[in-house]
Amino acid sequence: MRGFNHLPLILLFLLLFALLPFLPLGVWRAFLLDVGFFVLLFTALALSWDLVARTGQLSLAHGAFFGLGAYGAGLLAPQVGTLPALLLGALVAGAGALTLGSVTLRLHGLYFAIASLAFSEVLRTLALKLPFTGGPIGLPVPPPFAGTWPLAAYYLSFGVLLLATALSLWAEASPFRLAQAATRQSETVARVLGVRVVWVKLWSLLLGSWVAGLAGGVYGMKTLFLSPYDAFSLGRAVEALVIPIFGGLYTTLGPLVGGAVLVSLEQALRLWIKEGYLVVYGAILILVILFLPRGLVGILGRRRG
Amino acid sequence: MRKVVGFLVLIAGLAWAQIPLKVGVILPLSGASAVSGKAALNGIQLAADEVNAAGKVRLELIVVDDGTDPAKAVPAFTKLMTVDKVDIVIGGLASGVTFALSGPVKQYGPLFLVIGAASSVVEQAFEGYPLFFHYHPWDYHNVAAALQFFQYLNREHGAKKVAILYEDGPFGSAGIGVYKQQLEKLGYQVQAEPFKAGSGQFTAILTRFRAFAPDILYWIGYDVDALPIATQARQVGLRPKLIYGAPPSWPIGFEKNPLSNDIAGMTAWLPTVANPQSRRFVEAYRKKYGEVTEEYMAPMGYTIVNSLALAAEKAGSADKNRIAEALAGLKMPTPFGLLSFKPSDTGRTKYQGFGPEIWFQFQYLQGSRRPVFPKNVATRPLRYPGEYYLR
């Protein structure tokens, strides 16, 4: 079945991260679990961006969905508990996606990108001004399950990635992939072929926003604090798109490999090079983008879809 | 041969008498707060060299970069605690990042010596944590120090109107409501408007301020805003009697620009501060780095390491609890004045180092920053009105 070509590798990846807390990592265990947490979280965010990118839409709103989920979950967690808060946060992000999509999805390429960026700015401004968000001072967030389970944040992050992977695999293996690919390659032709282009784009955006919202919710519970500039940062949106480009666009394995390599690489470089590590990090990014236009996954064979 | 053996025994004895301290340092060496972070690290390393040369305490610094980002800071801190196995951590510069570290700090329980993190949200986060030593004043101390200056301007110079231009991020917007209220209580008319952080576009707001005709133009933002505000105020014909800024750091070389003349601001330290510890720090810094810094985070880092070494010496031990006990009772002269710890004003944290007394006002006069208020630290009289009004 299409999309499942790399299934053994994907399952191996997930298995490795599922078992990470139980591996004999010695003194590095806690550090690697922290790094693992952010690998899982940003990889999930990247997969959610890739889901939208498969329709040809360059979304810069993933920072906004991430922030909506983070604030939604952060505000609701003290009242309703961890899991309901995360789910409601994802729904808030979904509502944001519907709002954005209904207004802007008829725009193409860069126009949509600019509109999605403006959407992020509007939400950041709202988070700064609204009375219940904590404004510019920020919002304290309780840890998951009131801190009773040390591995809670890690496995919540793993759960978000699992969901993102499942959605991505489904999108790759189902006819939905064809609709996405047709929309990406030529909307006009896709319409002639009977593809409901706006519907495909809206669903992709909605699925992506749910995952991004969940990722944001878990992020807030790990960092215990949210501020508008952090939660709605353009940096998150850029991270979400760099990882799939680095790993391989329009695939499930690409963002998984890209996330694991990029996030770990950045952490490792910061340990080895105290100052100016970003120069090396940037150079590696540029080299990969220049010489591996299909990303790291391109090495494994011809790109599909 | 006997002499050689004797010498070796002496060296071994000296090493044995030293108190070895492994100290984690977590600072923003990249990201938005990197300038302050690097300045702090320079001060920390300078003090560590001096302490090691003195021979009573042997400091081993393990430095990690928090990236001014919680996602980078949390793993970096965890590494310090579990891989490097440090018991003492110096860090906590940016408030948001420090808040994110509150969970891991409580989990691992180090002696945490905090260099920055002025937001009182951080004070709430560390409430009840017994090994939290906060050196930097809290945000309400900053407000108190600035208000004292405004009270003086109102009383001595008859200033009545303040136009506040504040950036819409946490730095500029936190406490703006309190500022307004307090200024009005002092008898000021206040008009406040936010601007988008880093936008560099102020003409619309400054034009509106012109109709208000303020005595004081007060901007709360970052170093990148200083020059555009000075330029655009002139362009729109705004003539306040005092331009007063409160960025965390000022643009490098700003003093060389004629537009900086008579602009005032607040800081905790300048190289021209005349106390002996400050002079000693400036000389040592120049000797090690070949330049003079104006970033107050450098002497703050220097102060933290010196106080830690002195506390370890007094405790006669590398045990974090005994060091904390000694630190709590410490009274030490520093470039900022006397350091001693007492409970914070709200009572949330037990060990607060400096308060509003370390802040003072300066003015750019003839190409350098000169303390002008309060009177006990002033080296020059305040020029009021400034040349931007007189032109």
pLDDT at site A128: 86
CB nearest to B103's CB, from A27, A128, A224: A224
Q: Is the pLDDT of residue B350 over 50?
A: yes
Put simply, whether B348 touches A (Cβ < 8 Å) is no
Q: What confidence tens digit (pLDDT) does each residue in B92-138 have? A: 999 889 999 999 999 999 999 999 999 888 999 999 999 999 999 99
pLDDT band at B8 (very low <50, low <70, confident <90, very high): low
Q: Name the residue of chain A whose CA is nearest to B95's CA.
A: A137
Mutate to test the interface with B, among A32, A37, A219, A275 (most CBs of B within 10 A): A275
* pLDDT band with cut points at 50, 70 and 90 for residue B158: very high
Does the CA dihedral A149-A151-A154-A158 come out positive or negative? negative
Check CB contact of B64 with chain A, cutoff 8 Å: yes
Question: For the residues A43-71, what does the mean pLDDT come to?
Answer: 96
Distance from the Cα of B177 to chain A's closest Cα (Å) equals 12
Residue B184 CB: number of other CB atoms within 10 A? Answer: 12
Q: Are A225 and B82 inside 8 Å of each other by CB? A: no
| Cα distance between residue A227 and residue A137, in whole Å | 7
* Residue, of A121 and B88, whose pLDDT is higher: B88
pTM: 0.89
Among A227, A270, A277, select the one facing B170 at the smallest CB separation.
Answer: A227
For A270, name the nearest residue in chain B, comparing CA atoms only: B65
User: Rounded mean pLDDT of chain B?
Assistant: 92
pLDDT of residue A305: 44
Cβ–Cβ of A140/B83 closer than 8 Å?
no
- In chain A, the residue whose alpha carbon lies closest to the alpha carbon of B31 is A278
B96 and chain A in contact, CB less than 8 A:
yes
**CB–CB contact B70 A143 (8 Å):** no
